[in-house]
Amino acid sequence: MKMKGETMKEIKNVVCPFCGTLCDDIVIILDDDGHIVGTRHACRIGNAKFMHFEGAVRYTEPLMRENKKDDFKKVDYDTAIEETARLLAESTLPLIYGFSATECHAHACGIELAELIGGIVSNTAEVCHGPSVWALQDVGYPICTLGEVKNRADVVIFWGSNPMHAHPRHMSRYSIFARGFFRERGREDRTLIVVDPRETDTAKLADIHLQVEPHKDYELVSAMRAVLKGFELQVDKVAGVPADLIYEAVEVCKNAQFGELFFGMGMTQSGCKHRNIDNAIQLVIDLNAYTKFGLMPMRGHYNVNGFNQVCTWITGFPLCVDFSRGYPRFNPGDTSITDILMRGEADVMLNIASDPGAHFPQKAVDYMAKIPLICIEPHNSATAEISNIILPPAIAGVETDGTAYRMDGVPVHLKKIMDPPDGVLPDREILERIIKKIREM
Ligand code: SF4
Protein backbone atom coordinates (compact mmCIF):
# COMPACT_ATOMS: atom_id res chain seq x y z
CA MET A 1 0.00 0.00 0.00
CA LYS A 2 1.32 3.48 -0.91
CA MET A 3 1.63 6.14 1.79
CA LYS A 4 -0.02 9.51 1.10
CA GLY A 5 2.56 11.82 -0.55
CA GLU A 6 4.87 8.93 -1.46
CA THR A 7 4.47 9.59 -5.18
CA MET A 8 4.30 13.38 -4.94
CA LYS A 9 5.84 14.76 -8.12
CA GLU A 10 7.53 18.04 -9.07
CA ILE A 11 7.60 19.47 -12.57
CA LYS A 12 10.35 22.05 -13.04
CA ASN A 13 10.80 24.97 -15.46
CA VAL A 14 7.09 25.37 -16.11
CA VAL A 15 5.98 28.59 -17.83
CA CYS A 16 3.31 30.60 -16.03
CA PRO A 17 0.41 31.29 -18.42
CA PHE A 18 -0.89 34.41 -16.76
CA CYS A 19 0.89 37.69 -17.59
CA GLY A 20 3.18 38.85 -20.40
CA THR A 21 6.27 38.26 -18.22
CA LEU A 22 5.83 34.50 -18.89
CA CYS A 23 8.08 33.41 -15.99
CA ASP A 24 9.65 30.11 -17.05
CA ASP A 25 11.08 28.92 -13.73
CA ILE A 26 7.91 27.78 -11.99
CA VAL A 27 7.92 24.47 -10.09
CA ILE A 28 4.58 22.66 -9.97
CA ILE A 29 3.89 20.14 -7.22
CA LEU A 30 1.43 17.35 -8.02
CA ASP A 31 -0.05 14.95 -5.48
CA ASP A 32 -0.44 11.17 -5.80
CA ASP A 33 -3.55 11.64 -7.96
CA GLY A 34 -1.91 14.14 -10.34
CA HIS A 35 -3.67 17.20 -8.88
CA ILE A 36 -1.72 20.44 -8.46
CA VAL A 37 -1.21 21.04 -4.74
CA GLY A 38 1.42 23.75 -4.78
CA THR A 39 3.84 25.91 -6.75
CA ARG A 40 7.28 27.38 -6.14
CA HIS A 41 8.65 30.69 -7.51
CA ALA A 42 5.28 31.92 -8.84
CA CYS A 43 3.89 35.25 -7.63
CA ARG A 44 0.49 35.25 -5.94
CA ILE A 45 -1.34 35.71 -9.25
CA GLY A 46 0.66 32.96 -10.98
CA ASN A 47 0.15 30.64 -8.02
CA ALA A 48 -3.61 31.28 -8.15
CA LYS A 49 -3.66 30.50 -11.88
CA PHE A 50 -2.24 27.01 -11.25
CA MET A 51 -4.04 26.30 -7.98
CA HIS A 52 -7.48 27.49 -9.08
CA PHE A 53 -7.42 27.06 -12.86
CA GLU A 54 -10.60 25.00 -12.76
CA GLY A 55 -12.47 28.01 -11.34
CA ALA A 56 -15.81 28.02 -9.55
CA VAL A 57 -17.67 26.75 -12.65
CA ARG A 58 -15.67 24.68 -15.14
CA TYR A 59 -17.48 23.59 -18.29
CA THR A 60 -16.58 20.07 -19.32
CA GLU A 61 -19.29 19.46 -21.94
CA PRO A 62 -20.56 21.71 -24.77
CA LEU A 63 -23.79 23.60 -24.06
CA MET A 64 -26.33 25.00 -26.52
CA ARG A 65 -29.56 26.96 -26.60
CA GLU A 66 -31.48 28.46 -29.49
CA ASN A 67 -32.96 31.37 -27.61
CA LYS A 68 -30.85 33.33 -25.12
CA LYS A 69 -33.72 33.32 -22.64
CA ASP A 70 -33.78 29.50 -22.59
CA ASP A 71 -31.65 27.31 -20.34
CA PHE A 72 -28.57 25.65 -21.82
CA LYS A 73 -28.78 21.97 -22.83
CA LYS A 74 -25.81 19.63 -22.83
CA VAL A 75 -24.80 18.42 -26.31
CA ASP A 76 -21.81 16.59 -27.73
CA TYR A 77 -18.91 18.31 -29.52
CA ASP A 78 -20.11 17.16 -32.97
CA THR A 79 -23.50 18.82 -32.53
CA ALA A 80 -22.07 22.07 -31.12
CA ILE A 81 -19.37 22.24 -33.80
CA GLU A 82 -21.84 21.56 -36.62
CA GLU A 83 -24.16 24.34 -35.41
CA THR A 84 -21.20 26.72 -34.98
CA ALA A 85 -20.04 25.93 -38.52
CA ARG A 86 -23.56 26.52 -39.90
CA LEU A 87 -23.93 29.87 -38.13
CA LEU A 88 -20.52 31.07 -39.32
CA ALA A 89 -20.91 29.80 -42.89
CA GLU A 90 -24.36 31.40 -43.30
CA SER A 91 -23.34 34.70 -41.74
CA THR A 92 -22.86 37.90 -43.77
CA LEU A 93 -20.35 39.56 -41.44
CA PRO A 94 -18.97 37.16 -38.79
CA LEU A 95 -16.56 38.32 -36.09
CA ILE A 96 -13.84 36.22 -34.46
CA TYR A 97 -12.37 37.77 -31.33
CA GLY A 98 -10.20 37.05 -28.28
CA PHE A 99 -7.14 34.74 -28.40
CA SER A 100 -5.02 36.34 -25.67
CA ALA A 101 -5.25 33.42 -23.23
CA THR A 102 -4.44 30.63 -25.64
CA GLU A 103 -1.44 29.41 -27.62
CA CYS A 104 -0.24 30.40 -31.09
CA HIS A 105 -1.46 27.34 -33.04
CA ALA A 106 -5.01 28.29 -32.04
CA HIS A 107 -4.30 31.85 -33.29
CA ALA A 108 -3.28 30.51 -36.71
CA CYS A 109 -6.45 28.37 -36.88
CA GLY A 110 -8.63 31.36 -35.91
CA ILE A 111 -7.11 33.50 -38.67
CA GLU A 112 -7.56 30.66 -41.19
CA LEU A 113 -11.21 30.39 -40.14
CA ALA A 114 -11.74 34.16 -40.57
CA GLU A 115 -10.27 34.01 -44.07
CA LEU A 116 -12.43 31.01 -44.96
CA ILE A 117 -15.70 32.70 -43.95
CA GLY A 118 -14.76 36.24 -45.04
CA GLY A 119 -14.97 37.54 -41.48
CA ILE A 120 -13.12 39.97 -39.25
CA VAL A 121 -10.54 38.69 -36.76
CA SER A 122 -8.98 40.57 -33.87
CA ASN A 123 -7.69 40.16 -30.34
CA THR A 124 -8.03 41.79 -26.93
CA ALA A 125 -5.27 44.30 -27.72
CA GLU A 126 -8.15 46.39 -29.09
CA VAL A 127 -9.00 47.32 -25.51
CA CYS A 128 -5.46 47.42 -24.06
CA HIS A 129 -2.27 47.85 -26.11
CA GLY A 130 -4.02 48.28 -29.48
CA PRO A 131 -2.79 51.89 -29.73
CA SER A 132 0.78 50.64 -29.08
CA VAL A 133 0.47 48.03 -31.81
CA TRP A 134 -0.95 50.59 -34.28
CA ALA A 135 1.92 52.97 -33.53
CA LEU A 136 4.44 50.14 -33.92
CA GLN A 137 2.77 49.21 -37.23
CA ASP A 138 3.23 52.84 -38.39
CA VAL A 139 6.79 53.57 -37.34
CA GLY A 140 8.40 50.41 -35.87
CA TYR A 141 10.09 50.48 -32.47
CA PRO A 142 13.50 50.00 -30.90
CA ILE A 143 12.99 46.88 -28.78
CA CYS A 144 15.40 44.51 -27.01
CA THR A 145 14.95 41.36 -24.92
CA LEU A 146 14.21 41.35 -21.19
CA GLY A 147 17.56 39.54 -20.80
CA GLU A 148 19.35 42.62 -22.18
CA VAL A 149 17.44 44.82 -19.72
CA LYS A 150 18.49 42.54 -16.86
CA ASN A 151 22.15 42.53 -17.87
CA ARG A 152 22.60 46.09 -19.11
CA ALA A 153 19.91 48.59 -18.09
CA ASP A 154 21.02 51.26 -15.62
CA VAL A 155 17.99 53.53 -16.21
CA VAL A 156 14.48 52.09 -16.29
CA ILE A 157 11.27 54.06 -16.85
CA PHE A 158 7.82 52.67 -16.06
CA TRP A 159 5.29 54.95 -17.76
CA GLY A 160 1.59 54.39 -16.97
CA SER A 161 2.32 50.93 -15.62
CA ASN A 162 2.34 49.45 -12.13
CA PRO A 163 4.33 46.19 -12.32
CA MET A 164 4.27 45.76 -8.52
CA HIS A 165 0.66 44.63 -9.00
CA ALA A 166 0.17 43.83 -12.69
CA HIS A 167 3.45 41.98 -13.44
CA PRO A 168 4.70 41.13 -9.93
CA ARG A 169 7.96 39.35 -10.87
CA HIS A 170 8.97 41.68 -13.71
CA MET A 171 11.12 43.90 -11.47
CA SER A 172 12.78 41.04 -9.59
CA ARG A 173 13.45 38.86 -12.66
CA TYR A 174 14.43 41.46 -15.24
CA SER A 175 14.17 45.17 -14.72
CA ILE A 176 14.98 46.59 -11.27
CA PHE A 177 16.13 44.20 -8.56
CA ALA A 178 17.67 41.53 -10.81
CA ARG A 179 21.47 41.26 -10.69
CA GLY A 180 22.76 41.31 -14.26
CA PHE A 181 26.12 40.79 -15.97
CA PHE A 182 26.90 44.53 -16.02
CA ARG A 183 24.58 45.35 -13.10
CA GLU A 184 25.95 43.12 -10.38
CA ARG A 185 24.39 45.07 -7.52
CA GLY A 186 20.87 44.94 -8.96
CA ARG A 187 18.72 47.80 -7.65
CA GLU A 188 21.72 49.85 -6.53
CA ASP A 189 23.02 49.89 -10.10
CA ARG A 190 19.80 51.21 -11.58
CA THR A 191 17.86 54.47 -11.55
CA LEU A 192 14.10 54.06 -11.60
CA ILE A 193 11.85 56.75 -13.09
CA VAL A 194 8.09 56.28 -12.76
CA VAL A 195 5.55 58.37 -14.66
CA ASP A 196 2.11 57.99 -13.12
CA PRO A 197 -0.61 60.35 -11.90
CA ARG A 198 -0.97 58.21 -8.77
CA GLU A 199 1.51 57.31 -6.08
CA THR A 200 1.39 53.61 -6.89
CA ASP A 201 3.44 50.96 -5.11
CA THR A 202 5.84 51.08 -8.08
CA ALA A 203 6.05 54.89 -7.84
CA LYS A 204 6.94 54.55 -4.12
CA LEU A 205 10.13 52.74 -5.20
CA ALA A 206 11.11 55.38 -7.76
CA ASP A 207 14.16 57.62 -7.66
CA ILE A 208 12.21 60.14 -9.73
CA HIS A 209 8.41 60.19 -9.82
CA LEU A 210 6.92 62.38 -12.54
CA GLN A 211 3.35 62.80 -11.32
CA VAL A 212 1.79 63.66 -14.66
CA GLU A 213 -1.79 64.94 -14.79
CA PRO A 214 -4.23 62.36 -16.24
CA HIS A 215 -4.37 62.44 -20.08
CA LYS A 216 -1.39 64.80 -20.36
CA ASP A 217 1.21 62.18 -21.29
CA TYR A 218 1.64 63.59 -24.80
CA GLU A 219 2.53 67.03 -23.41
CA LEU A 220 5.06 65.54 -20.99
CA VAL A 221 6.77 63.45 -23.69
CA SER A 222 6.91 66.54 -25.92
CA ALA A 223 8.46 68.62 -23.10
CA MET A 224 11.09 65.93 -22.49
CA ARG A 225 11.92 65.86 -26.19
CA ALA A 226 12.19 69.66 -26.27
CA VAL A 227 14.56 69.67 -23.28
CA LEU A 228 16.59 66.87 -24.85
CA LYS A 229 16.98 68.97 -28.00
CA GLY A 230 18.30 71.90 -25.96
CA PHE A 231 15.16 74.07 -25.76
CA GLU A 232 14.27 75.87 -22.56
CA LEU A 233 10.85 75.34 -20.97
CA GLN A 234 9.09 78.73 -20.69
CA VAL A 235 6.73 77.54 -17.92
CA ASP A 236 7.14 76.30 -14.35
CA LYS A 237 5.19 73.11 -14.93
CA VAL A 238 4.25 70.92 -17.89
CA ALA A 239 1.35 68.47 -17.50
CA GLY A 240 1.51 69.09 -13.74
CA VAL A 241 5.20 68.12 -13.49
CA PRO A 242 7.66 70.78 -12.24
CA ALA A 243 10.12 71.85 -14.96
CA ASP A 244 13.12 71.11 -12.66
CA LEU A 245 12.06 67.49 -12.40
CA ILE A 246 11.70 67.22 -16.19
CA TYR A 247 15.25 68.58 -16.66
CA GLU A 248 16.53 66.13 -14.03
CA ALA A 249 14.79 63.12 -15.63
CA VAL A 250 16.07 64.01 -19.10
CA GLU A 251 19.60 64.41 -17.76
CA VAL A 252 19.41 60.95 -16.14
CA CYS A 253 18.17 59.41 -19.43
CA LYS A 254 20.82 61.19 -21.52
CA ASN A 255 23.59 59.93 -19.28
CA ALA A 256 22.34 56.35 -19.12
CA GLN A 257 24.58 53.59 -20.42
CA PHE A 258 21.52 51.58 -21.41
CA GLY A 259 17.97 52.76 -20.78
CA GLU A 260 14.59 51.12 -21.22
CA LEU A 261 11.14 52.71 -21.30
CA PHE A 262 8.39 50.26 -20.31
CA PHE A 263 4.91 51.61 -20.90
CA GLY A 264 1.49 50.36 -19.88
CA MET A 265 -2.15 51.11 -20.42
CA GLY A 266 -1.81 54.36 -18.45
CA MET A 267 -0.09 55.64 -21.58
CA THR A 268 -1.93 53.72 -24.32
CA GLN A 269 -5.43 54.41 -23.06
CA SER A 270 -4.97 58.00 -21.91
CA GLY A 271 -5.81 60.99 -24.17
CA CYS A 272 -4.03 60.93 -27.59
CA LYS A 273 -3.77 57.09 -27.38
CA HIS A 274 -1.50 55.82 -30.21
CA ARG A 275 -0.11 59.33 -30.71
CA ASN A 276 1.33 59.04 -27.17
CA ILE A 277 3.20 55.96 -28.32
CA ASP A 278 4.33 57.60 -31.58
CA ASN A 279 5.73 60.42 -29.46
CA ALA A 280 7.36 58.04 -26.93
CA ILE A 281 9.01 56.15 -29.81
CA GLN A 282 10.33 59.49 -31.09
CA LEU A 283 11.65 60.29 -27.59
CA VAL A 284 13.53 56.99 -27.56
CA ILE A 285 14.86 57.65 -31.08
CA ASP A 286 16.03 61.10 -29.89
CA LEU A 287 17.70 59.53 -26.83
CA ASN A 288 19.58 57.15 -29.10
CA ALA A 289 21.51 60.19 -30.37
CA TYR A 290 23.14 60.21 -26.90
CA THR A 291 23.00 56.64 -25.64
CA LYS A 292 21.38 53.25 -26.14
CA PHE A 293 17.69 53.35 -25.22
CA GLY A 294 14.83 50.92 -25.91
CA LEU A 295 11.08 50.78 -25.43
CA MET A 296 8.73 47.92 -24.60
CA PRO A 297 4.97 47.60 -23.99
CA MET A 298 4.03 45.89 -20.71
CA ARG A 299 1.72 43.31 -22.29
CA GLY A 300 -0.96 42.01 -19.93
CA HIS A 301 -2.44 38.66 -20.99
CA TYR A 302 0.26 36.05 -21.37
CA ASN A 303 -0.14 35.59 -25.13
CA VAL A 304 -1.75 38.82 -26.30
CA ASN A 305 1.56 39.56 -28.04
CA GLY A 306 1.49 36.10 -29.67
CA PHE A 307 -1.70 36.86 -31.58
CA ASN A 308 -0.27 40.13 -32.90
CA GLN A 309 2.87 38.26 -34.02
CA VAL A 310 1.02 35.37 -35.67
CA CYS A 311 -1.52 37.68 -37.32
CA THR A 312 1.30 39.83 -38.73
CA TRP A 313 3.13 36.82 -40.24
CA ILE A 314 -0.05 35.57 -41.87
CA THR A 315 -1.83 38.76 -42.97
CA GLY A 316 0.73 41.56 -42.68
CA PHE A 317 -1.36 43.25 -39.96
CA PRO A 318 -1.37 42.73 -36.18
CA LEU A 319 -5.12 42.84 -35.39
CA CYS A 320 -8.48 44.20 -36.68
CA VAL A 321 -8.07 42.24 -39.95
CA ASP A 322 -11.07 42.25 -42.29
CA PHE A 323 -11.33 39.43 -44.87
CA SER A 324 -14.81 40.40 -46.12
CA ARG A 325 -13.43 41.54 -49.48
CA GLY A 326 -11.41 38.34 -49.94
CA TYR A 327 -8.08 39.91 -48.96
CA PRO A 328 -6.82 41.25 -45.59
CA ARG A 329 -7.63 44.90 -44.77
CA PHE A 330 -6.54 46.74 -41.62
CA ASN A 331 -8.31 49.96 -40.66
CA PRO A 332 -8.86 50.27 -36.88
CA GLY A 333 -11.99 52.26 -36.13
CA ASP A 334 -13.59 50.72 -39.22
CA THR A 335 -12.41 47.11 -38.86
CA SER A 336 -12.12 46.96 -35.05
CA ILE A 337 -14.58 44.57 -33.46
CA THR A 338 -15.63 46.95 -30.67
CA ASP A 339 -16.62 49.59 -33.25
CA ILE A 340 -18.39 47.09 -35.51
CA LEU A 341 -20.46 45.87 -32.57
CA MET A 342 -21.29 49.41 -31.49
CA ARG A 343 -22.44 50.19 -35.05
CA GLY A 344 -24.53 46.99 -35.01
CA GLU A 345 -23.06 45.63 -38.25
CA ALA A 346 -22.13 42.00 -37.45
CA ASP A 347 -24.55 39.09 -37.48
CA VAL A 348 -22.56 36.32 -35.69
CA MET A 349 -19.63 36.39 -33.24
CA LEU A 350 -17.22 33.72 -32.08
CA ASN A 351 -15.30 34.57 -28.92
CA ILE A 352 -12.28 32.54 -27.79
CA ALA A 353 -9.97 32.82 -24.76
CA SER A 354 -11.25 36.21 -23.61
CA ASP A 355 -14.21 37.84 -21.89
CA PRO A 356 -15.44 40.83 -23.95
CA GLY A 357 -18.77 40.69 -22.08
CA ALA A 358 -16.87 41.97 -19.04
CA HIS A 359 -14.61 44.48 -20.83
CA PHE A 360 -16.31 45.96 -23.88
CA PRO A 361 -18.37 49.17 -23.79
CA GLN A 362 -21.98 48.52 -22.74
CA LYS A 363 -23.35 49.33 -26.20
CA ALA A 364 -21.11 46.65 -27.76
CA VAL A 365 -22.11 44.09 -25.10
CA ASP A 366 -25.81 44.88 -25.65
CA TYR A 367 -25.38 44.10 -29.34
CA MET A 368 -23.42 40.90 -28.59
CA ALA A 369 -26.39 39.80 -26.51
CA LYS A 370 -28.70 40.19 -29.55
CA ILE A 371 -26.75 38.19 -32.17
CA PRO A 372 -25.82 34.48 -32.19
CA LEU A 373 -22.73 34.21 -30.00
CA ILE A 374 -20.38 31.23 -29.73
CA CYS A 375 -17.97 31.11 -26.83
CA ILE A 376 -14.94 28.80 -26.66
CA GLU A 377 -14.46 29.17 -22.94
CA PRO A 378 -13.57 26.86 -20.04
CA HIS A 379 -15.26 28.90 -17.29
CA ASN A 380 -18.46 30.67 -16.51
CA SER A 381 -17.94 34.28 -17.63
CA ALA A 382 -19.97 37.36 -18.54
CA THR A 383 -19.59 36.43 -22.25
CA ALA A 384 -20.58 32.79 -21.66
CA GLU A 385 -23.74 34.04 -19.91
CA ILE A 386 -25.00 35.74 -23.10
CA SER A 387 -23.86 32.99 -25.52
CA ASN A 388 -25.88 30.53 -27.57
CA ILE A 389 -23.14 27.91 -27.75
CA ILE A 390 -20.36 27.19 -25.23
CA LEU A 391 -17.51 24.95 -26.36
CA PRO A 392 -15.25 24.12 -23.40
CA PRO A 393 -11.53 23.84 -24.25
CA ALA A 394 -8.52 22.43 -22.41
CA ILE A 395 -6.55 25.17 -20.65
CA ALA A 396 -3.39 26.10 -22.59
CA GLY A 397 -0.22 25.97 -20.51
CA VAL A 398 -1.81 23.62 -17.97
CA GLU A 399 -3.78 20.93 -19.84
CA THR A 400 -2.24 21.40 -23.27
CA ASP A 401 1.10 22.63 -24.60
CA GLY A 402 1.87 25.28 -27.20
CA THR A 403 3.82 28.47 -27.85
CA ALA A 404 3.36 31.93 -26.34
CA TYR A 405 5.20 35.21 -27.01
CA ARG A 406 6.62 37.11 -24.06
CA MET A 407 6.20 40.91 -23.96
CA ASP A 408 9.65 41.32 -25.56
CA GLY A 409 8.71 39.08 -28.51
CA VAL A 410 10.60 35.98 -27.33
CA PRO A 411 8.61 32.79 -28.06
CA VAL A 412 8.36 30.43 -25.08
CA HIS A 413 7.15 26.82 -25.02
CA LEU A 414 4.21 26.20 -22.68
CA LYS A 415 4.24 22.80 -20.97
CA LYS A 416 1.33 20.45 -20.49
CA ILE A 417 1.12 19.61 -16.78
CA MET A 418 -1.89 17.33 -16.66
CA ASP A 419 -4.67 15.88 -18.82
CA PRO A 420 -7.86 17.89 -19.38
CA PRO A 421 -11.21 16.46 -18.23
CA ASP A 422 -12.31 13.46 -20.32
CA GLY A 423 -13.10 14.35 -23.92
CA VAL A 424 -12.29 18.08 -23.57
CA LEU A 425 -10.39 19.33 -26.65
CA PRO A 426 -7.67 21.99 -27.02
CA ASP A 427 -8.70 25.35 -28.57
CA ARG A 428 -6.76 24.56 -31.75
CA GLU A 429 -8.57 21.26 -32.26
CA ILE A 430 -11.99 22.84 -31.75
CA LEU A 431 -11.15 25.47 -34.39
CA GLU A 432 -9.71 22.85 -36.76
CA ARG A 433 -12.92 20.85 -36.50
CA ILE A 434 -15.05 23.94 -37.21
CA ILE A 435 -12.89 24.68 -40.29
CA LYS A 436 -13.22 21.06 -41.49
CA LYS A 437 -17.00 21.14 -41.05
CA ILE A 438 -17.33 24.44 -42.98
CA ARG A 439 -15.20 23.02 -45.82
CA GLU A 440 -17.48 19.95 -45.96
CA MET A 441 -20.50 22.26 -46.15
S1 SF4 B 1 4.89 37.69 -12.89
FE2 SF4 B 1 3.29 37.05 -14.34
S3 SF4 B 1 4.17 35.28 -15.42
FE4 SF4 B 1 5.41 35.62 -13.56
S5 SF4 B 1 4.51 34.25 -12.02
FE6 SF4 B 1 3.52 36.26 -11.79
S7 SF4 B 1 1.67 36.17 -13.08
FE8 SF4 B 1 3.00 34.46 -13.68
* Closest residue by Cα to residue 20 from 428, 404, 280: 404
Pair 344, 367: CB distance under 8 Å: yes
Looking at residue 310, its pLDDT comes to: 97
Residue 436: CB atoms within 10 Å: 12
Task: Output 136 or 196, whichever has higher pLDDT.
Answer: 196
As a whole number of angstroms, the distance between CA 183 and CA 205 comes to: 18
What is the reported pLDDT for 265?
A: 87
Q: What is the mean pLDDT of residues 119-131?
A: 88
Average pLDDT estimate for 118-128: 93
Residue identifier of the C-alpha nearest atom 4 of ligand 1: 23
For domain 63-128+302-440, the CATH architecture is 3-Layer(aba) Sandwich (3.40)
Alpha-carbon distance 344 to 349, whole Å?
A: 12
- Residue 127's pLDDT band, with cuts at 50, 70 and 90, is confident
For the chain, what is the radius of gyration of the CA atoms?
23
In which band, very low, low, confident or very high, does the pLDDT at 130 lie, cut at 50, 70 and 90?
A: confident
Query: pLDDT tier at 412 (50, 70, 90 boundaries)?
Result: very high
Q: Ligand 1: distance of its center to the CA of 254 in Å?
A: 32
Maximum CA extent, the chain: 82
Question: 106 falls in which pLDDT band (50, 70, 90)?
Answer: very high
Tell me, what's the pLDDT at 199? 97
H helix or E strand, kind and range, residue 238: strand 237-238
Measured between alpha carbons, how far is 87 from 220 in angstroms, rounded to an integer?
A: 49
Average pLDDT on 312-316 reads 95
Per-domain boundaries in the chain = 9-51, 63-128+302-440, 131-297
The CATH homologous superfamily to which domain 131-297 belongs is Dimethylsulfoxide Reductase, domain 2 (3.40.228.10)
Pocket test for ligand 1, best of 13, 16, 53, 165 (most atoms within 8 A of CB): 16
pTM for the whole structure? 0.93
Residue type present at position 329: R
For the chain, percent of residues with pLDDT exceeding 90: 86
Instruction: Judge whether residue 2 has pLDDT over 60.
Output: no
Whose Cα sits closest to atom 1 in ligand 1?
A: 169
Instruction: Tell me, in angstroms, the distance from the centre of ligand 1 to residue 105's CA.
Output: 22
Task: Say what the pLDDT of residue 6 is.
Answer: 64
Helix then strand count (H, E) for the chain reads: 17, 21
Taking the alpha carbons at both ends of the chain, their separation in whole angstroms is 55
Mean pLDDT of 134-153: 88
The answer to whether 118 touches 270, Cβ cutoff 8 Å, is no
Question: Which atom of ligand 1 is nearest to 168's Cα?
Answer: 1
Task: State the CB neighbour count (10 A cutoff) for residue 207.
Answer: 14
367 pLDDT band, cuts 50/70/90, is very high
Give the integer Cα–Cα distance in Å for 186 and 167.
18
* 33 confidence band (pLDDT: 50, 70, 90): confident
Whole-number Å distance between alpha carbons of 149 and 158: 13
Pairing of strands 402-405, 348-352: unpaired
pLDDT at 268: 84
More confident residue, 212 or 265: 212
Q: Tell me the mean pLDDT in the region 349-377.
A: 97
Pocket mutation for ligand 1, best pick of 13, 14, 15, 21 (most atoms within 8 Å of C-beta): 21
What's the rounded mean pLDDT across residues 382-401?
Answer: 97
Count of CB atoms within 10 A of residue 237's CB? 14
pLDDT exceeds 70 at position 1: no
pLDDT tens track for 56-84: 789 999 999 999 889 999 999 999 999 99
In 3D space, the residue among 373, 376, 424 whose CA is nearest the CA of residue 398 turns out to be 424
Q: What is the pLDDT of residues 170-184, one digit of tens each?
A: 999 999 999 999 999
Reported confidence tier of residue 237, pLDDT bands at 50, 70, 90: very high
pLDDT reading at 134 higher than 80: no
**Ligand 1 center–CA 237 separation, angstroms:** 37
3-state secondary structure 153-195: CCEEEEECCCHHHHCCCHHHHHHCCCCCCCCCCHHHHCEEEEE
* Per-residue confidence (pLDDT) for residue 74, from 0 to 100: 97
Give residue 269's pLDDT.
80
Give distance in angstroms: CA of 169 to centre of ligand 1. 6
4: pLDDT confidence band, cut at 50, 70 and 90?
low
Nearest CA-CA partner of 110 in 101, 120, 128: 120
Backbone angles phi, psi at 241, to 5 degrees: -100, 130
Give the phi and the psi of residue 280 in degrees, each rounded to 5.
-65, -40
User: Packing angle between helix 274-287 and helix 130-139, nearest 10 degrees?
Assistant: 50
Q: Which residues contact 33 (CB under 8 A, 6 or more apart)?
A: none
Pairing of strands 73-74, 120-123: unpaired
Would you place residue 391 in the very low, low, confident or very high pLDDT band (cuts 50, 70, 90)? very high
Closest CA to 113 of 404, 415, 416, 427: 427
Q: What's the chain's average pLDDT? A: 94
Does 164 contact ligand 1 (Cβ within 6 A)? no
Instruction: Give 294 Cα–ligand 1 centroid separation in angstroms.
Output: 23
Check for a shared fold between 63-128+302-440 and 131-297: no
- Verify whether ligand 1 is closer than 6 Å to residue 296 (CB atom): no
Residue with CA closest to ligand 1 atom 8: 46
Cβ–ligand 1 contact at 156 (below 6 Å): no
